[in-house]
Amino acid sequence: MKNIVILISGGGSNMAAIVKAARRDNWQDRFGARVAAVISNRASAGGLIFAAENGLATEVLDHKVFDSREAFDAALAGIIDRFDEPAQPVLVVLAGFMRILTPGFVNRYAGRLLNIHPSLLPAFPGLHTHQRALDAGCQVAGATVHQVTAELDYGPILAQAVVPVLPGDSANTLAARVLTQEHRIYPQAIAGLLGP
């Protein structure tokens, strides 16, 4: 069984969309895969409640108690590796995980570390993507699922979704419209990686 471990920092709406898609589309029988655990760097992350209510293992690893990013990432890898099997390497999915990962961590899970970013990469990496798209006068915005590399918000693109920028849009209204597409394309991209 290929285990999927999802990392979150907040409400976990993308995580929930992935969990629901995995059940609805029967990833266990189709791909031999399941969402096994949800890990957060914040104990207050609302997504932990959804995960626990859906029978998933949950862990909290507070980044603030570590002296360095490297120490936090090493401890995080230790938790993830509990779900790792040599024959079926774990898939690590970032779903609103608000930590920049060290190159060592990224290399450890190279090719099986995924992220979703709320812009049409390579445009607008980093934060405040929706306001930046509005400020630039973009007519479209969107979201990108990509494999994670050591360079922030960079790496092979697996899926993208485009939404129009509407007259009168604010960063919040645009973000809400993009988020509905994130919930659609992230599970699709993961399923595409798992099998035909």
183 is catalytic: no
Could you say which DSSP state residue 22 is in? Answer: H
Beta strands in 9-126 (DSSP E): 33-40, 57-60, 91-94, 113-117
Task: Measure the CA–CA gap between 55 and 35, rounded to whole angstroms.
Answer: 10
- Give the DSSP H/E element, type plus range, for residue 72: helix 69-80
Q: Give whole-number Cα distances, 161 to 33, 77, 132, 141, in Å.
A: 25, 30, 18, 8
Beta strands in the chain (DSSP E): 2-8, 33-40, 57-60, 91-94, 113-117, 140-147, 157-164
Task: Measure the CA–CA gap between 129 and 155, rounded to whole angstroms.
Answer: 18
Catalytically annotated residue among 117, 130, 146, 183: 117
Q: What SS3 class is residue 56?
A: coil
Return the active site residues. Answer: 117
